[in-house]
């Protein structure tokens, strides 16, 4: 309970509810001077020591009649919230009787000389996860640009709240206020952040907020970013965002709240691969993102192409060579088990393919007919195919990550695990299914021949783990570049 003047009591109760203990405020901000309220001045003034060391030493506060306060003010405190004003008018009954026809096109009622009721400030707070998302985008080297239809002051407050404008970075208005100079005397390039109502702006500023924008202006902003060579991702949830979403390289509709119009679009998936690799390749789309994905810089679309020297070197010069060795090793093992040692194969092709030669001798003097030789050869072809499937196990697993170890990433992708079994089952089907010897010239293999490529599959896994370890320990080094 508060005893004393009703107005003062109401103010104290209000402050206690919304701001905390009045006693603590008074202890932290000691009063050093005061002009009490009187009927002549119609205001009360006091000077206090400022508890905030980053601000001025003394703080002057005043309360009183609105007209007296407003006459003494040259600036207004803006918290960046949306402010709505309210007023009303009791319309005279003699001028506006019951059943009066109000015309909103040709206005036939007063819209001026109303009674001011008051102001209400409000803010539509961003989602709690937005600041964290902005921080992750920044750590990944992504420039975050805010485009909104709100007032510039509101837009700036929200941008600072979610980290789009970083703490300590100033706009032109902030610099002018700090230096106590007119805004037009501030060099725009001195401001790392800006709030504006496009190519020079995008080029010179790192933290940007566009306020009071229309759908067409959002589209222009996207086009301007693309002219700068940027890959543009746009998030939105309404019809107003549709043109920008469609124009962007990546359009992200915000979940359930997104309108049907904003969700319209097409997705084209192109898949060209061997039959056994189809499911494993698609399974990588279900792979969980690497833990450091938002800490890596985006690729340069002009220099870092999808197919480049590094990819060709990795696919053909490194992993591809190990895969080929695994296939050829199994091939020669089967020939050797059937009597044809590797060094005896040189120059044998002429007689081998001659249908009329039925006495080709192996390394042990055993003679082979044409049909017998071809069955061995096609069995070797089958073994080469199966060996490639075996080494592809490791190839699929190492493709899960670009830098992180597979042990860090884990094997939680059930679709990928299914893909491993699917390609193996398909290879076994093609090898053992009756009739495949006629249809595809694929012959059954001994179970031991499946294991010939296992060491090469393990070698691929170990080789890539060591490569990724070097990249993590020496980022940007020769191994990562080459």
CA–chain centroid gap for 248, Å, is 14
Q: Which two tokens stand for residue 452?
A: 């010939």
- Cα–Cα distances in angstroms (integers) from residue 246 to residues 36, 213, 253, 262, 264, in the given order: 63, 17, 11, 8, 9
Pair 324, 465 in one domain: yes
Q: Give the integer Cα–Cα distance in Å for 266 and 257.
A: 19
Pair 106, 166 in one domain: no
Q: Is residue 295 one of the residues assigned to a domain?
A: no
Q: Is residue 267 one of the residues assigned to a domain?
A: no
Pair 460, 315 in one domain: yes
Residue 306's CATH number: 1.20.1110.10
Pair 347, 472 in one domain: yes
Q: Give the integer Cα–Cα distance in Å for 33 and 69.
A: 19
Pair 361, 420 in one domain: yes
- Cα–Cα distances in angstroms (integers) from residue 252 to residues 127, 130, 165, 229, in the given order: 16, 15, 22, 20
Taking the alpha carbons of 267, 273, 274, 280 in that order, is the dihedral positive or negative?
A: negative
Q: Is residue 346 one of the residues assigned to a domain?
A: yes
Q: Is residue 412 one of the residues assigned to a domain?
A: yes
Q: Which domain-ending residue is among 105, 122, 139?
A: 122
Quote the pTM value: 0.53
Per-residue pLDDT at 278: 60
Rg (CA), the chain: 38
Q: Which residues of 98-122 are buried (b: 16+ CB within 10 A; e: fewer)?
A: eeeeeeeeeeeeeeeeeeeeeeeee
Pair 223, 342 in one domain: no
Tell which residue, 142, 161, 149, has the closest CA to residue 244.
Answer: 149
Q: Which domain-ending residue is among 122, 140, 172?
A: 122
Whether the CB-CB separation of 86 and 120 falls below 8 Å is answered with yes
Pair 25, 87 in one domain: yes
Residue 14's CATH number: 3.40.1110.10
Q: In what order do the strands lie in the sheet with 207-210?
A: 145-147, 207-210, 193-196
Residue 244's CATH number: 3.40.50.1000
Q: Tell me the Ramachandran region of residue 46: left when phi exceeds 0, alpha when psi lies from -120 to 50, beta otherwise.
A: beta
Q: Is residue 398 one of the residues assigned to a domain?
A: yes
Pairing of strands 115-122, 145-147: unpaired
How many other CB atoms are found less than 10 A from the CB of residue 96?
Answer: 13
Pair 305, 448 in one domain: yes
Pair 14, 87 in one domain: yes
Number of domains in the chain: 3
Q: Is residue 292 one of the residues assigned to a domain?
A: no
Phi and psi at 393, nearest 5°, equal -55, -50
Pair 137, 230 in one domain: yes
Q: Which two tokens stand for residue 202?
A: 């995008």
Q: Which domain-ending residue is among 67, 89, 122?
A: 122
Q: Give the integer Cα–Cα distance in Å for 31 and 47.
A: 6
Q: Is residue 320 one of the residues assigned to a domain?
A: yes
Which parts of the chain sit beneath pLDDT 50?
A: 256-259, 261-263, 265-275
Pair 320, 385 in one domain: yes
How many CA atoms does the CB half-sphere of 66 hold within 13 Å?
A: 2
Q: Is residue 199 one of the residues assigned to a domain?
A: yes
Pair 142, 52 in one domain: no
Q: Which domain holds residue 224?
A: 129-253
Whether the CB-CB separation of 304 and 311 falls below 8 Å is answered with no
Q: Which long-range contacts (CB under 8 A, 24 or more apart) does 233-240 make?
A: 233/142, 236/262, 237/262, 238/262, 239/215, 240/149, 240/214, 240/215
């Amino acid at each position: 309970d508060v005893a004393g003047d009703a107005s003062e009591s109401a103010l104290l109760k209000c402050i206690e509810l919304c701001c905390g203990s009045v006693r603590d405020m008074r202890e932290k901000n000691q009063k050093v001077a005061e002009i009490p309220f009187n009927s002549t001045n119609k205001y009360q003034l006091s000077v206090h020591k400022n508890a905030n060391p980053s601000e001025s030493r003394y703080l002057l506060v005043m309360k009183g009649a609105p007209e007296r306060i407003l006459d003494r003010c040259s600036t207004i405190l803006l918290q960046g919230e949306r402010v709505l004003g309210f007023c009303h008018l009791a319309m005279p009954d003699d001028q506006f009787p019951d059943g009066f026809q109000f015309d909103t096109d040709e206005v036939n009622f007063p819209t001026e000389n109303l009674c001011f009721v008051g102001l209400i400030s409000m803010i539509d707070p961003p989602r709690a996860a937005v600041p964290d998302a902005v921080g992750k985008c920044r750590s990944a080297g992504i420039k975050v640009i805010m485009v909104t239809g709100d007032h510039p002051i509101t837009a700036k407050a929200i941008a600072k709240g979610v980290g789009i404008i970083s703490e300590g970075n100033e706009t032109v208005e902030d610099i002018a206020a700090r230096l106590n100079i007119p805004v037009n005397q501030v060099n725009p390039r001195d401001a790392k952040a800006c709030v504006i109502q496009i190519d020079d702006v995008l080029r010179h500023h790192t933290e940007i907020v566009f306020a009071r924008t229309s759908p067409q202006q959002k589209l222009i902003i996207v086009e301007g970013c693309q002219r700068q060579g940027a890959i543009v991702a746009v998030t939105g949830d309404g019809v107003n965002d549709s043109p920008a979403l469609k124009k962007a390289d990546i359009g992200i509709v915000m979940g359930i709240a997104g309108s049907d119009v904003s969700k319209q679009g097409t997705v084209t998936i192109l898949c060209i691969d061997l039959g056994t690799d189809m499911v494993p390749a698609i399974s990588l789309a279900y792979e969980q993102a690497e833990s450091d994905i938002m800490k890596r810089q985006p690729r340069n679309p002009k220099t870092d192409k999808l197919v480049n020297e590094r990819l060709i070197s990795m696919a053909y010069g490194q992993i591809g060579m190990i895969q080929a060795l695994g296939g050829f090793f199994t091939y020669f093992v089967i020939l050797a088990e059937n009597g044809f040692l590797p060094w005896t194969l040189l120059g044998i092709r002429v007689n081998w393919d001659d249908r009329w030669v039925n006495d080709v001798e192996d390394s042990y003097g055993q003679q082979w007919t044409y049909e017998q030789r071809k069955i061995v050869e096609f069995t070797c072809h089958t073994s080469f195919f199966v060996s490639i499937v075996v080494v592809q196990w490791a190839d699929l697993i190492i493709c899960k990550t670009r830098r992180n170890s597979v042990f860090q990433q884990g094997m939680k992708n059930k679709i990928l695990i299914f893909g491993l079994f699917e390609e193996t089952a398909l290879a076994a089907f093609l090898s053992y299914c009756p009739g495949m010897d006629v249809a595809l010239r694929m012959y059954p293999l001994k179970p031991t021949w499946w294991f010939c490529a296992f060491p090469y599959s393990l070698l691929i896994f170990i080789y890539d783990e060591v490569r990724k370890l070097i990249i993590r320990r020496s980022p940007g080094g020769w191994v990562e570049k080459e």
